[in-house]
Amino acid sequence: MQKRKLGGLEVSAIGLGCMGMSFSYGPPKDKQEMISLIHLAVERGVTFFDTAEVYGPYTNEELVGQALAPFRKDVVIATKFGFQLKPDGTPGWVGLNSRPEHIRQAVEGSLKRLKTDVIDLYYQHRVDPEVPIEEVAGAVKDLIRQGKVKHFGLSEAGVQTIRRAHAVQPVSALQNEYSLWWRRPEQEVIPAAEELGIGFVPYSPLGKGFLTGRIDASTSFDSSDFRSTLPRFTPEARKANQALVDFVSAVGRAKNATPAQIALAWVLAQKTWMAPIPGTTNASRLEENLGAESIELTPEDLSEINSRASAIRVEGARYPEHLEQMTGR
């Protein structure tokens, strides 16, 4: 697989988001099956794996650490800090916490669970309005000096926060939701990343599964699947948003590709310093996603996709209001 640069960090062009193996998309999956899936990804050339302490909590980092231990020198592990987790260890959080002392505590736990002595890319998961970003960047800068972290990242941060953090400790990567049905980063964040030389990691590049074409208005979600709480995934919104999937599917038929492959190929074609991290718990879907790298979208293809997709109104907010308020700070 081709490689891409996120700041000074080299990763596979397509990474693997591991969250859904343990958290958010229904009940946790079988651990041994997920270890085998991660091993398959490594065999297929994936070198970039994404997790976070809040996924589980903790169990996803443990899974990723165990699965990647045999390949540690050959892969890049990204994880995240910034939530105050529930004291009883149940899923969810009680608030944000990016105080430097909390970051120093969080990194020790992540290092242990990931079975490593250094984290390749350490993101602030969400901006904490109670802690100046300069203090956060300074804390990560100290961890880099200590050899516990290699690169600093931000997730869903606003442009001014990005600039202030970057002035203290260079930011290697920004992780934001980005896909054909969520293009807001194009307005400010992606231009700022280009200006500052920061890499961009699109999460949910398949629209949390919707752009695969395997979800429609009749799909039912388990109560532990967080999509059941998202305005964009109500049956009414899914019915309205089917027009976008139908269009992507039509492009796929013309290219002998699946809708998921077209959606990923579109992201890959935007910038050479973008590395999307689609998640999956299925080996055939992993193979499908990785096949997107070989799909060529010409400038004419991209122009038509952008024009047609922009004309389709996507219905429903991507998050409930209380979660959306945690982004773009």
Does 205 sit behind a cis peptide bond, omega within 30 degrees of 0 on the bond before it? no
Pairwise CA distance, residues 135 & 98, whole Å:
9
CA atoms within 13 A on the CB side of 2: 14
Task: Write the burial class of residue 197 (CB in 10 Å: 0-12 exposed, 13-18 middle, 19+ buried).
Answer: middle
Answer whether 5's CB lies under 8 Å from 273's CB: yes
Question: Considering 55, 58, 122, 203, which one is annotated as catalytic?
Answer: 55
Q: How many CB atoms lie within 10 A of CB 92?
A: 9
Length of the chain: 329
Give Cα separations from 32 to 39, 56, 103, 115, 180 (angstroms): 11, 16, 30, 17, 33
Pairwise CA distance, residues 143 & 132, whole Å:
17
Task: Write the burial class of residue 296 (CB in 10 Å: 0-12 exposed, 13-18 middle, 19+ buried).
Answer: exposed
Pairwise CA distance, residues 290 & 278, whole Å:
9
- Asked if 122 is an active-site residue, the reply is no
Residues linked to residue 4 through DSSP beta bridges, in sequence order: 11
Residues linked to residue 25 through DSSP beta bridges, in sequence order: 225
Query: Active-site residues: which are they?
Result: 55
